[in-house]
Amino acid sequence: MLGAGSGFVRAPSSFPPLPRQARPDMSDTVRNRLWIANEWVDARAGAAFPTHNPATGGLITRVAEARAEDVDDAVQAAREAMGNPEWRRMNPHKRSKLLWKLAEALEANADEVAALETADNGKPYFESRKVDLPSIVENFRYFAGMADKVQGSTIPVSGPFFNYTMREPVGVVGIITPWNFPLSLAAWKVAPALACGNAVVLKPAEQTPLTALRLGELAAEVGFPPGVLNVVPGFGPTAGAALVRHPGVDAIAFTGSTAVGKTVMRDAAETLKKVSLELGGKSPNIVFSDASLKDAVRGASTGIFYGMGEVCAAGSRVLVEQSVYDDFVEQLAARADQMAVGDPMESTTRLGAIVSEEQLDRVMGYVEAGKSDGARLVTGGERTTVNGKGNFVTATVFADVDPGMKIAQEEIFGPVAAVIAFEDVDDAIVKANQTIYGLAAGIWTRDVGKAHRVASEIQAGTVWINTYNQYDSGSPFGGYTQSGFGRDRGWEAALEKYTQVKSVWVALDR
Ligand code: NAI
Ligand code: MG
């Protein structure tokens, strides 16, 4: 997911090489304690967990591990912030200014923050620096613009009454994020939550906690009061679950797997929290025979290989009309072969490291499943290393995939394309919707009528026509069906998620 409006897949095909000596030094930006009430603290139990660089296997640092008692401290700090007039009554123009200043701080530190993201996650540095960071900065600016426009309305009612509504913060928002776009996905939720006047407890993924910690620190540096943004790295079943169950938390905004999303919803039911879930996908990228084949091949390639396919909206099911199927598969495989696996810090690298050995094992398990289910492995599917180290896999294309096969049904979260043939428009629609997911879809055709008809028939929260992976801070993003509910980005979605409405009645005749 992700990227600036024009960023994401429109990144230039080559970047100027980064001279070795000019590589940003991130050592100054590694933080490894819990961030609560604008202070670094150790976990109460003294526990810590390692976070590794998946491209080398090297230990970056050991991070304090939040457990229930630490989450409780963070929630108390957030509740105090909500009770603190400095935050609760802050002039909205000032809230706007703080968000803008946070955008500036991220921009000023973009090299280091992007290097930190790449070290922790394994994605190519050009993706972190040229796509993620600019989009994150834009996201904070967008929501800075919203902070002083959170307003209600006056309503004509019968009788001698004046009735108006107010949009008030929900309160303490628990934000739980995954490892694929660690800072971006945190930003998508933190910025609107703060714009609407909430306080936040952020639980980043255990694989990639570092940029979230840095965000907390930068927020304090630009002037957010203590407790407004707390960051508590830890594991899902302990720190994550404690946040979801905590009676002091009013809302949970979650991005991650569909399986955990279901657990989150169940756990949140006990205290009736407001829940929003942005979950997995198995998005169809549909190529009609009248499309520009060259554009469609490019779009299918970036759709599944950008971010190593560790993208919730990845176009992992490529549906291709029978008459162009063979040509398409050949061209997609040729592009896959150009996806250079390499050191994420090299500007020529197109596929960085898979986030963890565990995730790489999952991906390789799906490659095996594809083969044993009878799909044709056209290219890739090889586990590899760079300089003898790290978790890497080559860009993989499976053809002759049956829509019922495991690789066509389950989210792989790796650079593995499943190419499926279809007969005509109706067949394409049926096959596109043959999934429990509904996050995104791509349509490639020169026929305007067909494009719009298919767009309206697809069960998906986002549809891209003759493009893929476009995002903007103003455009809502989220799922249909088991890809979840609630939207990130866009001010209307933010109002829904991060405010509640109060209706006030005033008698005019007494
Ligand atoms: P996950 O869903 O377990 O992790 C996402 C976040 O949820 C992490 O911060 C984790 O600590 C937290 N979490 C885990 N269990 C929790 C619980 N019981 N209560 C509260 N929070 C909890 O994802 P995981 O295991 O890292 O990845 C497994 C698969 O999930 C991937 O292969 C991929 O298919 C899918 N996934 C989808 C993502 C998306 O963006 N839609 C993101 C990450 C994973
Ligand atoms: Mg890591």
Q: Kindly report which listed range (12-21, 263-272, 397-406) carries the lowest average pLDDT score.
A: 12-21
Q: Is 172 helix (H, G, I), strand (E, B) or coil?
A: strand
Is there a single domain that holds both residue 222 and residue 327?
no
pLDDT at 15 over 90: no
Considering the domain boundaries, does residue 10 fall inside one?
no
pLDDT band at 14 (very low <50, low <70, confident <90, very high): very low
Residue owning the nearest CA to atom 14 of ligand 1: 236
Quick check: is 496 catalytic? no
Give the confidence band of 125 by pLDDT, cuts at 50, 70, 90: very high
pLDDT digits (tens, 9 = 90+) for 50-62: 999 999 999 999 9
Average pLDDT estimate for 15-24: 52
Please, what is the angle between helix 182-195 and helix 92-108, to 10°?
A: 160
Q: In percent, how much of the chain has pLDDT > 70?
A: 95
Read off the pLDDT of residues 108-122 as tens digits, 9 standing for 90 and up. 999 999 999 999 999
Checking if the pLDDT of 497 tops 50, the result is yes
> pLDDT category, 107, cuts 50, 70, 90?
very high
Pocket, ligand 1, Cβ cutoff 6 A: 176-180, 203, 205-206, 235-237, 240-241, 244, 255-257, 260, 263-264, 279-280, 312, 359, 362, 411, 413
pLDDT of residue 29: 84
Strand blocks (E) in 222-325? 229-231, 251-255, 274-278, 284-287, 317-321
Ligand 2 midpoint to CA 306 (Å):
19
Across the range 311-321, mean pLDDT stands at 98
Contact assessment for residue 112 and residue 22, using Cβ atoms and an 8 Å cutoff: no
The residue written with tokens 């955008």 in the block is 103
Measure 185 CA to ligand 1 centroid, in angstroms.
Answer: 13
Q: Are 289 and 218 members of one domain? A: no
Judge whether 209 lies within some domain.
yes
Burial pattern 221-241, b for ≥16 Cβ within 10 A else e, equals ebebbbbbbbbbbbbbebbbb
User: Is 141 part of any domain?
Assistant: yes
Query: Distance of alpha carbon 322 from its chain centroid, rounded?
Result: 33
State which residues form the domain around 155. 34-279+483-503
Looking at the fold, whether 301 and 273 belong to one and the same domain comes out as no
Same domain, 310 and 169: no
Within this chain, do residues 295 and 363 fall inside the same structural domain, yes or no?
yes
- Ligand 1 pocket test, pick from 203, 260, 265, 488 with the greatest ligand atom count within 8 Å of Cβ, gives 260
Q: How many domains does the chain have?
A: 2
Q: Residue 448, exposed/middle/buried by CB under 10 A (0-12, 13-18, 19+)?
A: exposed
Distance (Å) from CA 478 to ligand 2 centroid: 26
Q: Give, as residue ranges, everything with CB less than 5 Å from ion ligand 2.
A: 51-52, 120, 207
Q: What is the CATH number of the domain that holds 39?
A: 3.40.605.10
4 has a pLDDT exceeding 80: no
User: Are residues 225 and 80 part of one domain?
Assistant: yes
Query: Is 278 in the active site?
Result: yes
Evaluate whether 2 touches 132 at the Cβ level (below 8 Å).
yes
pLDDT at 22: 56
337 falls within a domain: yes
Measured in Å, residue 257 CA sits from the centre of ligand 1 at 5
In contact, 268 and 252? CB cutoff 8 Å: yes
Q: Is the pTM of the predicted complex or chain greater than 0.85?
A: yes
Query: H helices of 178-256, where?
Result: 182-195, 210-222, 241-245
